[in-house]
Structure 1
Amino acid sequence: MTPLLPTAYHQNQALQGLAMIGRTVLHYRILQQLGGGGMGVVYEAEDLNLGRHVALKFLPSELERDPQALERFQREARSASALNHPNICTIYEIGQEGGIHFIAMELLEGETLKARMAKPPALALDQVLALAHDIADALDAAHAKGIVHRDIKPANIFINQRNQAKILDFGLAKLAARTAVGVAQTETLGSSPIDLTLTHPGSAVGTVAYMSPEQARGKELDARTDLFSFGTVLYEVATGSLPFRGDTTAVVFDAILNRTPPLPTRVNPDLPSKLEEIISKLLEKNPDLRYQSAAEVRADLKRLQRDTSSAQIPLPLAAWGERKTRPRVATDSHWLRYAGIALVVLVVGTIVALLSVRHGRAMTERDAILVTDFVNTTADPVFDGTLKKALAVDLEQSPYLNVFPEQKVQQTLKFMGRSPDERVTSEIGREICQRDGIKALMTGSIAALGNQLVVTLEAVNALSGDSLARDQQRAKSKEQVLDAVQEAATHVRRQLGESLASIHKYDKSLSEATTSSLEALKALTLGDAKHEASEELEALPNYQHAVELDPNFAMAYARLGAVYHNLGQMEQSEQYRQKAFELRDRASEREKLYIMSHYYGDSGQLEKGITALEMYRQTYPNDSIPYTNLASIYLQLGQFENALDNARHAVAIDAGSVTAYQNLAASYAGLNRLAEAKATLNDALEHNVKSATLHMQRATIAWGENDTATMERELQAAQGSADGDLMVLDFRARAAGARGQIRLARDLTRKAREAMQRLNLKQGPATVLAQL
């Protein structure tokens, strides 16, 4: 199964940003990229009129055509420009050129509170109180104008070189539509009435760990949501840990809504009791019991500043991450305690291992299994490839079995000097297993027996050839073959050691998990072969044929949504994505999570997408797809460190995934680690992971480095498929425009549009290159 959320054309924002450097937009000359967020990319630029350096924030090119995103960007600018306060980042200008929208704002020198908390020494108490006073003052000014930030967190609080706090990024700002408690009734910014409501009931916007309960529920918000988030920040600064934590978004939501955090003084006994009172009142789950205005918070902080002498807040070591300080040395009694625990774990582990052997479990959850092609002696070609796909879908329902990815199979075939499309017989399968350290392979066959069809499945030890599990089922007709495959797979899963409880939970019939139509499944299989090779245009006819054969085929609709999304055809993508979501219960558990995460992620409901993907990752930890798609979402949000972490996991699990490498390279580029981005792309090609989009990424980096020879070489390498040819044509058109070759740019643009019309595409697939 291939990833849906990451797109070949919309994930390269970090790479494309390199091409902006050196350009002049109106009277601003762009010097370097500073970072990015969900609603824009930020550059340092020189104001050629006034001779000062500013920060320019651009709307990402892939969102230019999204009216909601454009409106949100403009709202941020209007919101922030209405505020003139020393603790709020100043907005100088809102402008656009050539359809590119930007905000010119104050260029700050210093670091974010998030960065400051990540390194020693600890902040002194008087520093914490001074910064808290600045934040409260800024919020009071914003709330007085009816503006709610809704994303207060350490990353959005900047500490300048004078140790003053400044609030950044009103990208989620909301102008209160009604009088909020503690907020003046101000419904205009300037003279025109503006509704700055960016969400509606039922959608949660903001950074999860810092959300208020009402925000987590997707309710209407007023100024008090910022006060709760402010309390979370203060708790974290004062104690070194977040008040609401968890391994998944769902767990964090539950903590915010239902759990009371430990008292700050229990985490850090040196805190003043009055600061604990302030934090606890800010973190009241009921807004009516919370502080009702930032002015009240500011007054209490000022009193505490007056009554408290300077003191150091000793944060726990765990709060600092990797600190280069001397670790505590455990006493002998500590060592004995840890040694005792280790001994118990060792003994228990040994007992479990012995019991596993005694019960004859043929495999463990960490073992991979390779599915070979079926031996088909029926002379009916509909079974070729189709039954292998059906068996893989059934086995992939199981969290117990780790099906070796098809892309990795193709990669190993290349290393063996074979065609990646070659049929994987049992002999070739055993060689693949031995090369990749796979314990077992699953073989299958279908044969005619009178007027019946016999399906046989067998799991085989890859080294010895011994049978690990075997089952045979009969089908009275071709229409019953998929049921026979599913029944045989269920028996084999049990023989391999999977529990009955797991099988009962993750064992939908194939007609419910995929389709009852062999022909439709055959079409999906052919489409997947092209989709996995990033040949999206070639995949389309097969997926379209699949839904024609079975109008209720959820995964075929999901694939269509993915392909059209990758091609930049958002209207068609949304149509098929919605249909897949409506039919999600007609898919396996794994595919259901896949469809949900794709739907939420592509429709801009990123937090719900993250929640679905984290559930996916927990249930199927050996699947690269949730890591790949999480990396894609974090790239969209400009959270490059999170993207990098997930992309690394994806590549480690599936080194044959084109999209995993694309995300990894884009993550490095977003962090301005270009040498590692290039090394990643080189590594992909050395592993025989080939795709036009990988070459386009290399060409984009070369463009940003003014390396024309490398750029041309990579553009030539990207050609050869309909997708690649169109991307290259679009790239050359935009590059010509950036060089001022207007006539050439127009000619190439005309040719690109003609190509799109021939392919029945409404929008260019390489819209991400609009920044060039």
Structure 2
Amino acid sequence: MPPDTGPHSGRPSELIGRQIAGYRIEREVGRGGMAVVYRAKDLRLDRTVALKLLAPELARNDTFRRRFTYESRVAAAIDHPHIVPVFEAGETDGVLYIAMRYVAGRDLRHLLDKEGPLAATVATRIAVQVASALDAAHDHGLVHRDVKPGNILVAAGTDSDHPEHVYLTDFGLTKKSLSLTGFTTVGQFVGTLDYVAPEQISGRPVDGRCDVYSLACVVYETLAGGPPFQRDDDMALLWAHQYDVPPAVSGKRPDLARGVDDVLAKALAKSPDDRYGSCLAFVAALRAAAVGQPESPWAPPSPPGWARPVFPEAGRL
């Protein structure tokens, strides 16, 4: 039997140099369980793009294909400076694809692995850009569900006052689509364990406040050098998200104002009702606490998405 050298085989792909849907693939830049991302050349417009190819089994599911098409269109309609623009999504030769702006730089995962904990000013600069992107998505009825350092791209900024320009990515392959089509099963959910909200784990309905929780886990890691909960096995980690009190970040960063602990504790509340009503409200409180200011009693209004139906997850523990 010939070796499997397709885009999802885990072996070096033979797609480099090939043309798919008007894009010539140049090199692989990332891969996950259900997709591979390539740097590619848009032959029609002569521009570099990030081309994500989804696992072939997804294209064989009619419900997923419909959801993918719909939600890719919604994502493409969001015009926001901190969301990676979606150029095109479709299907070719039995493979679903999505073409996005190619962002030169590195993701937050690589930045943290290289530099360790960030200064509070840098962490909050990054957080406010991600929060703005998430709230914009919520305004359009999209919940990200997988906010993590690997989905936060950090590019060069415009000047010394704005040294980073941050993009949030991975809206093209939605987590809701996977749960609706049976690609999550009993005992599973879509998300990354270090940053997953308690309601995602238990299969309760979710809205944008699950992104508040995940963003708080990311912010905690940017300040402390690791996520709030670190356990020896996955089940213990899932339990911690649902029941354990997160350790105070000031225990690892005594240089931080003590108010930062209170802000993170609220954003990491087990119940969505006890968290901040939006990602920007959380980051506004974080910035104030970082400089020793009391939290303002006023907060930005909750995004309109709160009035929309919440989305149940398929998987349950």
SS in 2 for 1:119: helix
Matching of residue 91 in structure 1 with residue 92 in structure 2 = no
Q: Is the 8 A contact 1:72 1:198 kept in 2?
A: no
Root-mean-square deviation (CA, aligned residues, Å) is 3.1
Distance 2:206 2:188 in 1: 12
Of 46, 64, 85 in structure 1, the residue corresponding to residue 59 of structure 2 is 64
Matching of residue 234 in structure 1 with residue 219 in structure 2 = yes
Determine the structure 2 residue equivalent to 1:300. 285
Matching of residue 32 in structure 1 with residue 27 in structure 2 = yes
Matching of residue 138 in structure 1 with residue 133 in structure 2 = yes
1:493-504, aligned counterparts within 5 Å? none
Matching of residue 250 in structure 1 with residue 243 in structure 2 = no
Q: TM-score, normalised by structure 1?
A: 0.34
Determine the structure 2 residue equivalent to 1:22. 17
Q: Is the 8 A contact 1:203 1:218 kept in 2?
A: no
Q: Is the 8 A contact 1:75 1:196 kept in 2?
A: no
Determine the structure 1 residue equivalent to 2:174. 172
Structure 1 unmatched runs, 5+: 1-7, 176-194, 309-603, 609-772
More helix per residue:
1
SS in 2 for 1:159: strand
SS in 1 for 2:82: coil
Distance 2:62 2:5 in 1: 17
- Structure 1 residues 27 and 215 mapped into 2: Cα distance closer, same or farther (>3 Å)? same
Q: Quote the offset at 1:24 in angstroms.
A: 1.6
Determine the structure 2 residue equivalent to 1:273. 258
Determine the structure 1 residue equivalent to 2:161. none
Determine the structure 1 residue equivalent to 2:195. 210
- Structure 1 residues 135 and 104 mapped into 2: Cα distance closer, same or farther (>3 Å)? same
Determine the structure 2 residue equivalent to 1:290. 275
1:604-753, aligned counterparts within 5 Å? none
Identity of aligned residues (%): 36
Q: Quote the offset at 1:272 in angstroms.
A: 2.0
- Structure 1 residues 236 and 204 mapped into 2: Cα distance closer, same or farther (>3 Å)? same
If asked which structure has higher relative contact order (CA below 8 Å, sep 6+), I would say: 2
SS in 2 for 1:13: coil
Q: TM-score, normalised by structure 2?
A: 0.80
Q: Quote the offset at 1:121 in angstroms.
A: 6.1
1:503-522, aligned counterparts within 5 Å? none
Structure 2 unmatched runs, 5+: 158-163, 294-313
Q: Quote the offset at 1:128 in angstroms.
A: 0.7
Of 138, 141, 152 in structure 2, the residue corresponding to residue 157 of structure 1 is 152
Q: Is the 8 A contact 2:87 2:99 kept in 1?
A: yes
Distance 1:86 1:113 in 2: 17
Distance 1:304 1:270 in 2: 13
Q: Quote the offset at 1:55 in angstroms.
A: 0.8
* 1:151-208 deviations in Å (ceiling 9; x for gaps): 1111111111221221111233449xxxxxxxxxxxxxxxxxxx99987997522111
Determine the structure 2 residue equivalent to 1:599. none
- Structure 1 residues 54 and 149 mapped into 2: Cα distance closer, same or farther (>3 Å)? same
SS in 1 for 2:194: helix
Determine the structure 1 residue equivalent to 2:204. 219
Determine the structure 1 residue equivalent to 2:308. none
Q: Quote the offset at 1:253 in angstroms.
A: 1.1
SS in 1 for 2:75: helix
SS in 2 for 1:93: strand
Distance 2:124 2:71 in 1: 28
Determine the structure 2 residue equivalent to 1:390. none
Q: Is the 8 A contact 1:76 1:173 kept in 2?
A: no
* 1:519-541 deviations in Å (ceiling 9; x for gaps): xxxxxxxxxxxxxxxxxxxxxxx
Q: Quote the offset at 1:77 in angstroms.
A: 2.1
1:70-149, aligned counterparts within 5 Å? 70-71=65-66, 73-74=68-69, 76-120=71-115, 122-149=117-144
Distance 1:267 1:20 in 2: 45
Q: Is the 8 A contact 1:202 1:219 kept in 2?
A: no
Q: Is the 8 A contact 2:197 2:210 kept in 1?
A: yes
Q: Quote the offset at 1:71 in angstroms.
A: 4.6
* Residue type at the aligned position of 2:138: H
Q: Which consecutive segments of 4 or more residues in structure 1 shift more than 3 A?
A: 8-12, 14-17, 66-76, 172-175, 195-203, 301-308
Q: Quote the offset at 1:256 in angstroms.
A: 0.9
Distance 2:280 2:174 in 1: 22
Distance 2:238 2:117 in 1: 29
More strand per residue:
2
SS in 2 for 1:117: helix
Larger Rg belongs to: 1
| Count of residues in correspondence between the two structures | 286
SS in 1 for 2:229: coil
